[in-house]
C-alpha cells in the first residue's frame, strides 16, 4: 500500500537506506575505482547515511518530548544536516549535497507547480510534483558542488533519475519508483561513459550507492521491501537514451526512456560482478601521478569566503567538492599538500572535524594504494573533543575521532576508525560515559572482522590522556589493558561549563551564564568567574591527594588564566606537578585531570 511523503516516510527511508547500504557496502567498496581506487565508497556512503538517520531520529525524539510529531520539513532538513556533518569521502559529500537539494524543495512545504491536493502549507505531506522538483533540484545541486563534473558518475545517475521521475504519473511512490528505474538504467551505462570503469569492467560505485538509496525511497513510499541485488553481465543491453550510451554530457533537461520492467531493489548492478584489478595496466583511476592525500573538514564560513576557498583549493588539487550553506560547509579535496588545504580552510573560517587520509606510498603510485601494508601489532583509537587533543593523540601514534558538543560519533564511525588504525589489536578509548554502548557496539563489530578490541572504560578526555601515557605495545595485550584501565581509573576528572539556562543542580540552583564546576560528572561548584571556580574545583579535588594535574584548555580559555591556575597549584599544593595542553574543545572552557 502506497504511503504519503511525510516525516514518517523520511524516517523509514533512512532505515531502509541504511539496511541496503549495509548489505551492499562491501560490494560497492570492491568496485570503487573512480576517482581513487581506495575501496571505501560503500563504507563512506553507509557512514554518511548513518549520520543522516541519527539526525532524523533525534528530530523525532525532540518533537516527541513536546507531544508533537515533526513535519516533513523538519525530517528532511534533519536528514540533510545529518548527512552534511557526517559526510565521508567524495561520494558521501556529494550525497549530502543531493539530500540538501531535496530539502530545499520539500522543506518549503509547497513546490512550484504542485498539483491540487499537494503538500500542506506546513510541509507535512509532499505531493508527487514536489518530489519531482526535489529530485530535479538534487541533481542540479550536485553539479554546483563539484568543481569539475565528470559524466559516467553519480552525477549522471542522479540526473537521469530526476528525468525519469519528471515523466512519471501518479503518486509519490510512482515517482520514486521511476527515479529508481532511471537511476538503474543510467548506472548500467556508466562503463560506456567513463573509460576507467569500462577498463575495469564495473559500474560507478557512487552511482551504485545512489541506486540503493533511491530503491530505499521507493520502498518507503510503496511499502514494498526492496529485493536482493541483481548482477548485470558486461554485455548486458543498456536500456537508455543514446546520449547516455555515447558518453555525452547529460543535463537535467535531457530526455530519457527508463525501462519500467526492473523491480525495485536495494541492490546495484556491478558490471561483471568482480572487483577491479588495481594492479592492471590502467591502474585505479588512470592517473598514477594524482594527489596523495584526501582532506575533509567541516567549515563554518560565509558564502564569500567559501567562494574564495573553492578557487584556492581548485588550484591545489582535484576531486574538489564543497557542499552546504547557511554558514556550515563540508569540504572535500584530493591534494599533495594537506597542510595547505587545511590552512586555506582556516583563512576562510573555522574548520573542524579535519580528516586527512594518505592514499598510499610517497612515490604517488595509485596502484600501490590498494596494497595494504602489514597490520600493526597494536593501536589505540580515542574519541576526543578538540583538534588540539587530536594532534596530541596523533603525536602519540593513536587514531583520533574528533567530535563536537551534541554531535557524538556513531558506532559505524568508530568501526571505520578501528579499520583505519590497521592493527591486529586495538585499544578503544571512548572518553565519555554516554558513548559506552556506542563504543561497545563498535568493538563487537570490529571483533567479527578479526580485530582484537579492548574497550578501556575512560569517562573523560583526561582519563584517555592518562591511559595513553602508559600504553606500551611491547607488553602483552592483557597487561596493556590492565595498565591503561588502572591509569584511567586513578584519574579523577572535572570540567568547567557555562550554564545555558536556570536549572537545579547538585550544588543548588544555577542561573544562565553561571560558571559550573563539574567533578566526576556532577555539578559541585557554582560560580561567576572562570579562574575562581576552577581554583575551588582544584582545591576540592586535591584535598583527597594527587601528584599530577592536567589542564586541557578550551578554544576560548585565556592562556593567562591557565598560568594563574598553575601558580595556584604550586603555591597551595606542594609537590603537585602540572601539565597544560591546548585542547581546542568547544562547550567546556577547561578540562581538569588529577592523578
Average pLDDT, integer, range 316-333? 88
State how far the Cα of 448 lies from the Cα of 443, in Å rounded to an integer.
9
Q: pTM above 0.75?
A: no
Check whether 136 has a pLDDT greater than 90.
Answer: yes
DSSP summary character for residue 565: H
Residue entry with cell 542561573: 511
* Superfamily in which the 376-490 domain is placed by CATH: Phosphotransferase system, mannose-type IIA component (3.40.50.510)
Check whether 175 has a pLDDT greater than 50.
Answer: yes
Query: Does the CA dihedral 413-414-419-420 come out positive or negative?
Result: positive
Q: Is 458 helix (H, G, I), strand (E, B) or coil?
A: coil
pLDDT category, 198, cuts 50, 70, 90? Answer: confident
State how far the Cα of 335 lies from the Cα of 344, in Å rounded to an integer.
12
Higher-scoring residue by pLDDT: 49, 278: 49
Q: Which of 419, 290, 276 is nearest to 364 (CA)?
A: 290
- Name the CATH topology of 289-359: Alpha-Beta Plaits (3.30.70)
Average pLDDT, integer, range 556-563? 84
pLDDT in tens, 44-72: 899 899 989 988 988 888 766 566 778 89
pLDDT for the residue numbered 375: 67
The HSE-up count of residue 409 (CA atoms within 13 Å, CB side) is: 30
What is the CATH number that goes with domain 5-246? 1.25.40.340
State how far the Cα of 421 lies from the Cα of 583, in Å rounded to an integer.
22
Specify the range with the lowest mean pLDDT, choosing from 105-114, 198-207, 366-375, 556-565.
Answer: 366-375
- Show Cβ contacts of residue 187 under 8 Å, excluding neighbours closer than 6 positions: 157, 203, 204, 207, 208, 210, 211, 268, 269
pLDDT category, 254, cuts 50, 70, 90? Answer: very low
pLDDT for the residue numbered 135: 94
Q: Using a CB cutoff of 8 Å and minimum separation of 24, what contacts does 539-544 make?
A: 539/572, 541/492, 541/494, 541/592, 541/594, 542/569, 542/572, 542/573, 542/576, 542/594, 544/492
Provide the mean pLDDT of the chain: 80
pLDDT category, 273, cuts 50, 70, 90? Answer: very low
* Domain parsing of the chain, residue ranges: 5-246, 289-359, 376-490, 492-594
pLDDT for the residue numbered 239: 30
Specify the range with the lowest mean pLDDT, choosing from 107-116, 144-153, 334-343.
Answer: 107-116
pLDDT more than 90, % of the chain:
24
Specify the range with the lowest mean pLDDT, choosing from 113-122, 261-270, 394-403, 543-552.
Answer: 113-122
Would you say domain 492-594 falls under CATH 3.30.1180? yes
Asked whether 569 and 549 are in contact (CB, 8 A), the reply is yes
Higher-scoring residue by pLDDT: 87, 116: 87
pLDDT category, 441, cuts 50, 70, 90? Answer: confident
Helices vs strands, H then E, count in the chain? 19, 18
Check whether 391 has a pLDDT greater than 60.
Answer: yes
Enumerate the β-bridge partners of residue 334: 294, 318
Higher-scoring residue by pLDDT: 259, 223: 223
pLDDT in tens, 352-374: 877 777 765 333 333 334 444 56
pLDDT for the residue numbered 268: 59
pLDDT for the residue numbered 133: 92
pLDDT for the residue numbered 506: 84
State how far the Cα of 568 lies from the Cα of 539, in Å rounded to an integer.
9
> Would you state the cell numbers that stand for residue 19, as one nine-digit string?
539496511
pLDDT in tens, 456-503: 999 999 999 999 999 998 888 888 898 899 999 889 999 998 888 888
pLDDT category, 575, cuts 50, 70, 90? Answer: confident
pLDDT for the residue numbered 500: 85
Enumerate the β-bridge partners of residue 297: 331
- Show Cβ contacts of residue 353 under 8 Å, excluding neighbours closer than 6 positions: 85, 296, 297, 298, 402, 403, 404
Asked whether 79 and 14 are in contact (CB, 8 A), the reply is yes
Average pLDDT, integer, range 285-314? 80
pLDDT in tens, 99-131: 999 999 988 754 344 443 333 333 334 688 999
DSSP summary character for residue 365: -
Amino acid at each position: 500500500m502506497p504511503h504519503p511523503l511525510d516525516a514518517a516516510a523520511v524516517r523509514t527511508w533512512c532505515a531502509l537506506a541504511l539496511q541496503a547500504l549495509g548489505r551492499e557496502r562491501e560490494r560497492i567498496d570492491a568496485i570503487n575505482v573512480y576517482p581513487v581506487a581506495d575501496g571505501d565508497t560503500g563504507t563512506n556512503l553507509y557512514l554518511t547515511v548513518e549520520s543522516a538517520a541519527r539526525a532524523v531520529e533525534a528530530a523525532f525524539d525532540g518533537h516527541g518530548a513536546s507531544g508533537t510529531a515533526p513535519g516533513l520539513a523538519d525530517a528532511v532538513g534533519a536528514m540533510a544536516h545529518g548527512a552534511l556533518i557526517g559526510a565521508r569521502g567524495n561520494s558521501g559529500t556529494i550525497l549530502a549535497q543531493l539530500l540538501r537539494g531535496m530539502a530545499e524543495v520539500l522543506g518549503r512545504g509547497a513546490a512550484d507547480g504542485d498539483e491540487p491536493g499537494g503538500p500542506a502549507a506546513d510541509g507535512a505531506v509532499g505531493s508527487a510534483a514536489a518530489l519531482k522538483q526535489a529530485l530535479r533540484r538534487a541533481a542540479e545541486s550536485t553539479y554546483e558542488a563539484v568543481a569539475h563534473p565528470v559524466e559516467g558518475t553519480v552525477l549522471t545517475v542522479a540526473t537521469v533519475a530526476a528525468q525519469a521521475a519528471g515523466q512519471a504519473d501518479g503518486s509519490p511512490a510512482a515517482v520514486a519508483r521511476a527515479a529508481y528505474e532511471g537511476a538503474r538504467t543510467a548506472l548500467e551505462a556508466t562503463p560506456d561513459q567513463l573509460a576507467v570503469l569500462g577498463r575495469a569492467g564495473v559500474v560507478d560505485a557512487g552511482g551504485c550507492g545512489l541506486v540503493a538509496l533511491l530503491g530505499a525511497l521507493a520502498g518507503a513510499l510503496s511499502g514494498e521491501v526492496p529485493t536482493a541485488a541483481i548482477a548485470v553481465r558486461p554485455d548486458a543491453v543498456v536500456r537508455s537514451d543514446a546520449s547516455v550510451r555515447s558518453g555525452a554530457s547529460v543535463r537535467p533537461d535531457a530526455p530519457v526512456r527508463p525501462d519500467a520492467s526492473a523491480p525495485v531493489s536495494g541492490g546495484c548492478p556491478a558490471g561483471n560482478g568482480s572487483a577491479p584489478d588495481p594492479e592492471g595496466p590502467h591502474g585505479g583511476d588512470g592517473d598514477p601521478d594524482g594527489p596523495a592525500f584526501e582532506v575533509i573538514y567541516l567549515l563554518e564560513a560565509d558564502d564569500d569566503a567559501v567562494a574564495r576557498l573553492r578557487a584556492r583549493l581548485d588550484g591545489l588539487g582535484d576531486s574538489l567538492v564543497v557542499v552546504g550553506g547557511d554558514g556550515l560547509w563540508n569540504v572535500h579535496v584530493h591534494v599533495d599538500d594537506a597542510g595547505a588545504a587545511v590552512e586555506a580552510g582556516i583563512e576562510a573560517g573555522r574548520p573542524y572535524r579535519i580528516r586527512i587520509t594518505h592514499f598510499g606510498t610517497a612515490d604517488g603510485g595509485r596502484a600501490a594504494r590498494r596494497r595494504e601494508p602489514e597490520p600493526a601489532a597494536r593501536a589505540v583509537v580515542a574519541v576526543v573533543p578538540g583538534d588540539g587533543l587530536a594532534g596530541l593523540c596523533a603525536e602519540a601514534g593513536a587514531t583520533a575521532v574528533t567530535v563536537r558538543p551534541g554531535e557524538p560519533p556513531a558506532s559505524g564511525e568508530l568501526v571505520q576508525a578501528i579499520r583505519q588504525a590497521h592493527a591486529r589489536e586495538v585499544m578503544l578509548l571512548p572518553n565519555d560515559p554516554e558513548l559506552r554502548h556506542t563504543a561497545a557496539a563498535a568493538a563487537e563489530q570490529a571483533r567479527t572482522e578479526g580485530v582484537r578490541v579492548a574497550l578501556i572504560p575512560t569517562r573523560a578526555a583526561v582519563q584517555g590522556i592518562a591511559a595513553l601515557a602508559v600504553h606500551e605495545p611491547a607488553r602483552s595485550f592483557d597487561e596493556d589493558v590492565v595498565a591503561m584501565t588502572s591509569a584511567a581509573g586513578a584519574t579523577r576528572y572535572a570540567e568547567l561549563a557555562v550554564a545555558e539556562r536556570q536549572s537545579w543542580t547538585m550544588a543548588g540552583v544555577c542561573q544562565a551564564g553561571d560558571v559550573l564546576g563539574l567533578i566526576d560528572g556532577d555539578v559541585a561548584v557554582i560560580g561567576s568567574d572562570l579562574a575562581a571556580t576552577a581554583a575551588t574545583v582544584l582545591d576540592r579535588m586535591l584535598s583527597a591527594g594527587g601528584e599530577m594535574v592536567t589542564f586541557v584548555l578550551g578554544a576560548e580559555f585565556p592562556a593567562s588564566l591557565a598560568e594563574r591556575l598553575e601558580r595556584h597549584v604550586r603555591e597551595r599544593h606542594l609537590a603537585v606537578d602540572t601539565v597544560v595542553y591546548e585542547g581546542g574543545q568547544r562547550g567546556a572552557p577547561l578540562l581538569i585531570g588529577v592523578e
